[in-house]
Structure formats: C-alpha cells, structure tokens
Structure 1
Amino acid sequence: MKQYQAEARVWPVSQGEGVIVSVVDSGVMEDHQDLAGQVLPGADFSGAKTDGRVDGEGHGTGIASLIAGHGHGTGSGVMGLAPKAKILPIRIRAAGEHPELRQSDIELAVRYAVDHGAKVVNLSVGGYDPLDSAARQAILYAVSKDVVVVAATGNSGDSGAPVEYPAAFPGVVAVGAVGENGSLWARSTSGPETTLVAPGTAIYQATAKSTSGYGVGDGTSDAAAYVSATAALIRAAYPGLSAGQVINRMITTATAPADGGAVPNGRYGYGILAPAKALEANPAVDNGPRDNPLLHRVESQATDEPTGTPAPVVPQAGGAGGWYGVVWGVLGGGVLLVAGVGVWVGRRVRRR
C-alpha cells in the first residue's frame, strides 16, 4: 500500500478551498481546536434546537476532522485531507435516541445540505431498507443538483450483511475500508455496490470529549470521510467538472489491491482511493461524459422503486502524513491516523 503523501503530492495542488462538505451525522463540535473556523451553521433534525454545531456523541466531529481538520500550533492535532474545505454539519438522530426514527430522516438532511451549498455530502450512517422512497428521492435530488454523495458500506462484513443504504442507492459512492497493509478490513461490508475503499483502521481523529479531545478507532465511516475529502479536493482544483466527472476521476485512478483480483469487484470496488492521482491531469475524464456513472448501478437488494426523475424539493425547516499520509495526527511526537465506528439497522440509524 503506497502512502498518499498528502503534504508533498496533494496539498500543493488542492486543499479543498471554497468547497462545502456536509457531514450528516451526530453533529460537529465547532470549537474543537482542530476545527475552529471550519464549521458553518447547519441544521438539526434530531429534535434538539441546535444548528448542528454540537456533538454529544463525537462521531460527526471525528468525521469532520478527517475531512477538514487544520491542526493547531506547530505540527499538532489532526490535519484533514482537505484542510481548507468548510463543514456544513447536519445532526440526525441515532438508534436509542428516538425509536421512531425512520431512514426518511435522511431525506431532510440531504435536501437541506443540497439547498445550502454543499457540493459533497458525507453519510457515515446506514441501514437495510431499500424501499424508503423519501431517502431514495433525496439522493436522486442531490444527483440532479450536481452533488457528490458519499456513504459508508457498513461494518458488518464479518456477518455477510449486504451493503447498507444509503450507500447502496444508485448514484452514491459506496465506500469500504482497508487496513494499513491495503487488504480489506475484516468487518468492511462488501457487495456489488462497493465503489471504492480507503483507510479505515487505527485512524487518529478529533473527538467531542473536549475541545482538545482525540481518539483512535476503526470503521468504514472514516474511509468514507477520505473519499468525501478527495471529492472536495477535486472540486476545488477543477471547479468546472460535474459531480459525475469528479466520481470518474476517483474510480479511474484508484489503485488495484494486491490481493483483490481484477477490479471492479464486490470487495474493493474500483480499488483503493488515490487522492494524488485523482488530482492529476485527466483529459479523458474531463472531456468525457458529465453524467454520474453510478446512477444506473444495479442494486443487489431487489426493489421496485423508480430510479428516474427526482421528486421536487420541499423546503425544510432547519435548526437556527500518518501511515497513509492522508491525515496527520501528532500526539506526543508520534504521527498517527484513526477511524470512527457506527451503522444504522433497519430503519433506525447507527453511526458507522
């Protein structure tokens, strides 16, 4: 597994300037020392009266730090892959908070993100309901508005579970996780919808325990964050490209796994995310089709739901170099990386 070498190969080209990435999750702690100034006022569909810039769970803060953390001091904290992107936090309910939660709550979040300037939407949540019309139509709405939607495949690969929704919806970049050696993480959920894989084990990130809190974990959540950050990097460097061309840059430049066989396949998708390659000149993609290449992807879980024209928008009320060289975390002189955990089951949400 080659290092991403972000400082040398990625950031001289792009740092995500001017791009808004929406993190649909548990909220984001706006005053964490590595996120200060990066978090815009967002929305809260959890039932709490916030603007999304609070996080009692910590998962969303971790995801945001991997995307747009800027560190602090000299070589301290977490530096995200797209450190100059902005985060639009949208807080949703997790399993255990409100049992009545439906996957349809994702509709509120995705539509809000699209209507408030997000060019990339990160969904590190999931479940197993392919027939949720509201969530499906919200994804189609995002695609119709030229937004890159990224979601984690899930952390149930060791039990043979299928790729979860919204990752399995057509048009979504479905992301699995690999370990430090580039092999698929044992718990990374696999299936024909898998688009890309990215680092997802032993990832160092910010937490919401305090304004200087950090932690280490594993999960496809963090792998998805890296893909969202890469999409932001591309959108900043090549603002004229469509969302479909941004996705094509990532899938056509992905690195084939050493043990994965021919790609694309259900375990690694098109391969391991390669941010530096995705930023290189690519006239074949840039002058090619602008449509989302994943929009007509076959779903492994049968559904009779239409995948055509998205429903019209309805205004929604909102609340007032580590080992991969992707995100640098310096703690006590050591450079580390980390990943978070979570998933949603059935119609109820859990973080991946």
Structure 2
Amino acid sequence: PTPQGLALQGLRVPPPEPQGMGDFSAPYVPGELLVLPGGLTPQGLTARVAGARVEKPLEGGFLKVRVPEGKERAKAEELLRTGARWVQPNYLYFPLYAPNDSLYPPSLSDPSRLGPYLDLLRMEAAWDRVRATAYPCTPIVAVLDTAFNLGHEDVGSLFLPGYNATPDGLGEENLDPSPPPSGFAYSPDDNADHGQGVAGLVAALADNARGIPGLGLNRVRVFPMKVFYWTGGGYGSTSAVLAQAIRKAADQGAVVINLSLGSETPLDAVVQEALVYALSKGSLPVAAAGNDSREGLRYPAAYPGVLAVGAVRKDGARADFSNYSSTLTDLVMAPGGNGDPPEKLWSLALGRDYPSYASLGNYVRWAGTSFATPMVSAIAALYVAHYHALRGTSPSPDQIKVCLEMTASNGGHYDSQTGYGIVRADRVLTDTTYCFP
C-alpha cells in the first residue's frame, strides 16, 4: 500500500565501518582471514606480512586473505599493524541440530524443559560438530553418587555396569539405594534419586523421543559408582569410601570423575591424596561448588587440581544458592536452576521402587550445583573425544581445564561471582588458541 499523509523524513544511516579485530574464539575456517584494507592496496597490504596472500576481493570492500593455518590471530595482528582497518576470521555457520527427546524443546507451559538451559552452553552448535565427527574412542565419566538404575527407559547401554563402593552389604555390583539400619528411614532430604539425575545429564539416551538427551549425545558413557550409604546415623559417604571410589574410577580409565557432593572439611588428606592419584592417571575431577549461597567453595571442589562448577539460572546470572570465590580458582559455571524465584530443570529419577525407598518416578525436576556439574563433565568428555579424533591422543587434565576456562563466557577473565563464566561447548570443540593449539 502507498503511504498517505506526511512524508517520512528519516534517512537510513549506514553503520560505521568496523575497525580493529574480530573474535577468534568463535568457529572459523582455518587459514582464512577477511580484511578491510583501509587506504592500502591489496598488494601493498599483503607484501608487508609474510605468508599472507590475497585470494579474492569480496563485496563491500573486503578481501579474502590466505594465511598459514594455526597463525590466524598472529597474522591478523600483523595486518592491523601494517594499516588494515579491520581483520576477522572467516566464521563458520551451521544448521543447528535439536534432539527429539520429549523434555528438551522449549514450552511455555513447562519452564523446566532442558533446551533453554542448554542454550547458555551453546550445546546445539557443539552437537553439530559432534555429529559431523567420527569418534574412535568413547570417553567414560565416573559418577560418584547415591544410587543408579541401569534398566531405566532412558539409559540403554550408556550406563556401564557399576560399582558399589559402600559397605552396605548389597555386594559390589548392586547399585540399589542402601537399606537403612533398624529405626531409620529415608526422608525427602535423603534423595537416592540424586545419582540417576546427575548421571542422566551426562549420558541419558538422545534422540529416542522420550525424556531428556544427555549432553554427551550418545558419545559418552557413565561409570556409575555408589558412594552414599547409611553411616554415622545418617545417609552420606565417608573419606575412606570416597577415596577408594576415586582411585577405582581413575584405574578404570575415566577421563572425568563427577563429584556432585561436598563437605565443609577443609583438609581431608585421604581424599586429597586420592584426587592427586586420579590426576596422575589422567582423570579430571569435576566437583560441585556448593549450594550455600556464600563465599568459599565446598570440598572437594576447593582442592587444587579439581575443576569446580557453580550454577547459573536461565538468564545466565549466578543462581542465588550457588557458592562463589573471590580467590582465583578453577571455577566455571553451568545451568543449575535457581532458588527464588524457583527454577528447575528436568533429568532422570530412578524409575523403580525399592523395599526401603520409593523412587520419584522416571523423570523429575532438579536444581543445584549438583546438576550444573555433570553438564561440565559431559562437555569435558566430548572435548576429550574430539581431541582424540583430531590428534590421536588425549589431552591432560590441565589441558581440559585451560580449554574450558579460557573459552568460557568471561573471555578468559576471572570474576569473583562467576569464576571464568559459563562453559561454551561450541568454543570448546573449535577454539584453536587454547583447545586445539
């Protein structure tokens, strides 16, 4: 339709030309830069930078420049020094894959769906890279927790036969909730479904049209280890049990040991020595920061060598219950819900009842740093699989930490409330500065 009345007086003002350098942490084509040369000729620009060659001009005044692979950022800085106005990578764009699991896609009627939480991690972009890569190895994440049901409808073969590290009398292969002693009973706070929920976020079956997808997208397996039982008049674990399980997980070849548990104990020499042993075997401990909403991390998250995980809510801010640390430490963040206003996210429950414990069902809504932690564990395991596929070897625990921390949302800077920020799975699988140097 033809506009009537007063003529439109506004003029469309073109945006100013960019100046400086683009972001090299995003996925890009190796060995290619896009350059706005400013007042220099293409030949004059590249003649001053060794190894740079103009491939062709692009519309808008840009040049496509070939540089040595692995030297993209360094050559971009050289080009800027010689007079280029703007230099950026030739970024990659992907069709974003979304799994068909029923509790994944966003829903106005169900704010606990997993998809919006995983958007903070850029999981769909990372999954596109995973689906396009053949992985010769399947990394294992050991989950040390309460109880597990290997026959759950959303597990399949992604949960390995586990190990009962407790002296509860049920046998080493029995992962059922430990029976309470006479005169005791499970309370709502003694949640034996916790372990299944944690493990599900790592390795629940993806694309099976039910429940949730594990972040490992069927490329990561869980070694379930029961460490909680009735001891000392309550439901918990001990130094001896935890240390034994950590050592066994490392001996079984777990690339990540997920510890969604914690204590106020500032020095537990037995557990700390087991963590050192695990690191020496190439296993990275990943532990929950704690749900006390205070300065200072719980242990084992606070021990040297451990990657600590705090929780953020759906808008990316620190969850009100999540512990934090103003002291520089290995702390990253992942979605874990919130307390007030309440936010929870779907994961697995045990899905069967036991003589001493009634399960919450097949699926239940969870919140806490306990559930942020397995998200980071799964991304770390995917990084190991991707690294092995490209390099033929596995990264060390220190390499994994550096990759996840330096590519997280705080841009390599440490913040007292959020550490290095929210883990960015898309960058973890593509970054050529810290992850694939």
TM range (shorter): 0.7 to 0.9
Gap change, CA 1:190 and 1:33, over 3 Å in 2: same
Deviations 1:189-236, CA, capped at 9 Å, x for gaps: 112345101000121101013397101021001110100000100000
- Taking the TM superposition and a 5 Å limit, the aligned residue runs for 1:16-165 are 18-48=138-168, 49-51=171-173, 53-55=175-177, 57-71=192-206, 73=208, 75-82=209-216, 83-94=218-229, 99=234, 101-157=237-293, 160=294, 162-165=296-299
1:245 corresponding residue in structure 2: 399
What residue in structure 1 maps to residue 102 of structure 2? Answer: none
**Secondary structure in 1 aligned to 2:296?**
coil
Distance 1:206 1:8, change over 3 A: same
Match of 1:236 among 380, 385, 405: 385
Greater Rg by CA:
2
For 1:222, the equivalent position in structure 2 comes to 371
TM-score between the two structures when normalised by the length of structure 1: 0.73
Give the 3 Å change call, closer, same or farther, for CA 282–264 of structure 1 in structure 2. same
| CA displacement at 1:71 relative to structure 2 | 4.1
Give the distance between the partners of 1:101 and 1:9, measured in 2 at CA.
35
CA-CA distance at 1:54 after TM superposition: 3.2
* Cα distance in 2, alignment partners of residues 115 and 217 from structure 1: 31
Q: Secondary structure at the match of 1:13?
A: helix
Q: Deviations over 1:105-129 (max 9, x none)?
A: 2211100100112111000000011
Cα pair 1:125 1:151 within 8 Å, conserved: yes
| Larger mean Cα displacement after TM superposition, 214-223 or 36-45 | 36-45
Report how far residue 254 of structure 1 moved: 0.2
Identify if the C-alpha distance between structure 1 residues 11 and 225 changes in structure 2 by more than 3 Å, giving closer, same or farther.
Answer: farther
In 1, Cα distance between the equivalents of 2:330 and 2:177?
29
User: Aligned pair 1:256/2:410, yes or no?
Assistant: yes
Closer/same/farther in 2, CA of residues 183 and 93 from structure 1, 3 Å limit: same
Whole-angstrom CA distance in 2 between matches of 1:134 and 1:96: 18
1:85–1:59 Cα change, 3 Å: same
SS across alignment from 1:230: helix
* Match among 304, 316, 321 for residue 187 of structure 1: 321
1:196 aligns with 2:332: yes
Distance in 2, matches of 1:127 and 1:93, equals 13
Structure 1 position 42, deviation (Å) = 2.3
Q: Is the Cα contact below 8 Å between 1:66 and 1:80 reproduced in 2? A: yes
CA distance in 1, matches of 2:429, 2:193: 31
1:50 offset after TM fit, Å? 4.0
Q: 1:185 to 1:133 in 2, by over 3 A?
A: same
Residue 130 of structure 1 and its aligned partner are, at CA, apart by: 2.1
Match of 1:282 in 2: 432
Partner of 1:206: 348
Alignment-mate amino acid for residue 278 of structure 1 = V
Aligned residues: 280
2:125·2:426 contact (CA, 8 Å) conserved in 1? no
Aligned-pair CA distance for 1:267: 1.6
Q: Is the 8 A contact 1:163 1:194 kept in 2?
A: no
User: 1:10–1:279: 8 Å Cα contact kept in structure 2?
Assistant: no
Quote the residue 1:337 is aligned against: none
Contact 1:227 1:273 in 2 (8 A): yes
Distance in 1 between the 2:324 and 2:120 partners?
24
Q: Distance in 2 between matches of 1:279 and 1:230?
A: 9
Aligned partner letter, 1:12:
R
- What is the letter of the counterpart of residue 203 of structure 1? L
Q: Which has the higher contact order (CA 8 A, sep 6+)?
A: 1
Measure how far apart 1:61 and its partner are. 0.5
**Structure 2 residue ranges without an equivalent (≥5):** 1-116, 179-191, 338-343, 354-360
Matches of 1:186 and 1:136 in 2, distance apart? 29
Shift of the 98–280 alpha-carbon distance from structure 1 to 2, 3 Å rule, reads: farther
* Counterpart code for 1:228: S
Map of 2:129 onto structure 1 = 12
Deviation (angstroms), 1:72: 6.4
Give me the whole-angstrom Cα distance separating, in 2, the residues matched to 1:97 and 1:236.
40
CA RMSD in angstroms, aligned pairs only: 2.5
